[in-house]
Structure 1
């Protein structure tokens, strides 16, 4: 399932793209499943990142989170043996599953500023790893993921102000050069696996008629003993829960809360390192 080149790429760049891990028909079924759920109403874990009454597209299609706790299709995807096989091949040990998310990213919606996932998960020892599955064809026009190769070797960086005209979160991380991030073009069913310290984000969806739906699972390395409280209970890849310690700080990836001037990202955790990669 995992070639030597994929493992070498993951170790070198902090990510690897496994094309066609899921079939296009599976991606279509999941896409339609989440659209039905989204149109039915709201759920615990929904986050829009925009003010009530806003005409922002994200108000109509807020992100869903932790669906595996109440939706069987999400739980089955999160613990799918294909994902487990790839993760085990990359990490030399089966991971623990801790989060599901789906971003709908409708036409005209903002992206998410560059960030590092383990800023939120606080997995230790080791780190978290994401499985980011495209449910639509994704490219730069509809806001594909952008990654900074090699940034998984960086520390967890202190955040700085982001441009909220193009990002629904208001914090980002510094880069050594402005063009360090590269786009990842994907087809439905492709899955990008990436390290928890990898700097990544996305630009706005500038199309008028294309969604950029993506299903994301977050996992922690099998030797991890702690993770932030939001991610409990962790699951073994057979779906059984296990007890881990609670890591101090952390929160949902891309979390925000209402501020006096509108939604702001929640700055959490106490272990950020205040230096850039040299």
Structure 2
């Protein structure tokens, strides 16, 4: 398959079930994208404490532009209010619910990815969220034009039909994250190309990641949400409380599993 933009009148549930990823154009308009970009750039420039500690060296560009995790939990900040607003925006929720039914919000993120920044090795989201009995769905919204040069997402078509794959070690030269899925024979990646305001909706078992930003002067910023079906009864603690479409905080049982790779599992390299 080739990941191309899906027509607005397409059967989203069928497309999602078959491909595991749906590319929709212009989910947000240019004025909205400009507002989001300016707010997050102002926040990270003045105070980057929302940034997640990924253990990067102090001289790494990602130490200056760390990814923001759960900004929707900070209503005292403009970026928090904006993130919460778009997390519950019906233009996004209606598409998600067309694909998998009623959902609750589980996570928000904002990636800056400036020039020279490393990418994130191939991974599957539900290894981290541990949503049961259903998987999560991601909504990845482009703030900038996205392509291979500035480290756009790479997907493994239809990999959502596979079980979760236990990762090994990532290449520290190209990835800030420590773990990577080493693809079985016959599986390969496909590069995405997106315009500001476009969104990818993809399955929690979809294998995806990105390479370094090799451009001279282009950021690759993105706003990302994860949702889980309202039928979910268990979730990793880090993602609780969930957020209902009406803005109510929802708690489900905290996952106590060691994950699908087992208690005490450590990366074992390619397999």
Shift of 1:178: 7.6
Q: Residue 239 of structure 1: SS of its match in structure 2?
A: coil
Shift of 1:4: 3.3
C-alpha distance in 2, partners of 1:17/1:188? 12
Match of 1:80 among 79, 82, 89: 89
Unaligned 5+ runs, structure 1: 250-268
Aligned to 1:255: none
Q: Is it true that 1:126 corresponds to 2:130 in the alignment?
A: no
Shift of 1:48: 4.5
Aligned to 2:34: 28
C-alpha distance in 2, partners of 1:63/1:17? 23
Shift of 1:161: 1.3
Alpha carbons 1:47, 1:64 under 8 Å: kept: no
How has the CA–CA distance of structure 1 residues 82 and 151 changed in structure 2, closer, same or farther, with 3 Å as cutoff? Answer: same
C-alpha distance in 2, partners of 1:200/1:229? 23
C-alpha distance in 2, partners of 1:46/1:8? 36
Alpha carbons 1:12, 1:150 under 8 Å: kept: yes
**CA displacement 1:132-156 (0-9 Å, x = unmatched):** 0000001000000010111111111
Shift of 1:208: 1.1
Q: How many residues align?
A: 252
Aligned to 2:109: 101
Shift of 1:59: 1.3
Aligned to 2:260: 271
Runs of 4+ in 1 over 4 A off after TM superposition: none
C-alpha distance in 2, partners of 1:8/1:49? 40
Q: Residue 4 of structure 1: SS of its match in structure 2?
A: coil
Q: Is it true that 1:136 corresponds to 2:125 in the alignment?
A: no
Aligned to 1:210: 218
Alignment of 1:184-195 (within 5 A): 184-195=192-203
Q: Is it true that 1:199 corresponds to 2:207 in the alignment?
A: yes
C-alpha distance in 1, partners of 2:13/2:41? 34
Match of 2:47 among 36, 41, 44: 41
Shift of 1:39: 0.8
The structure whose residues are more often strand, as a share, is: 1
C-alpha distance in 1, partners of 2:187/2:133? 31
Shift of 1:45: 4.9
- TM-score scaled by length of structure 1: 0.86
Q: Is it true that 1:156 corresponds to 2:160 in the alignment?
A: no
Shift of 1:9: 2.3
Match of 1:17 among 19, 23, 30: 23
C-alpha distance in 2, partners of 1:165/1:29? 33
Alpha carbons 1:132, 1:193 under 8 Å: kept: yes
- TM-score scaled by length of structure 2: 0.88
**CA displacement 1:171-216 (0-9 Å, x = unmatched):** 1112134871101100000010000000000011001100000000
Alpha carbons 2:242, 2:251 under 8 Å: kept: yes
Tell which deviates more after alignment, 100-109 or 218-227.
218-227
Aligned to 1:175: 183
Aligned to 2:68: 64
Aligned to 1:227: 235
Match of 1:237 among 222, 226, 245: 245
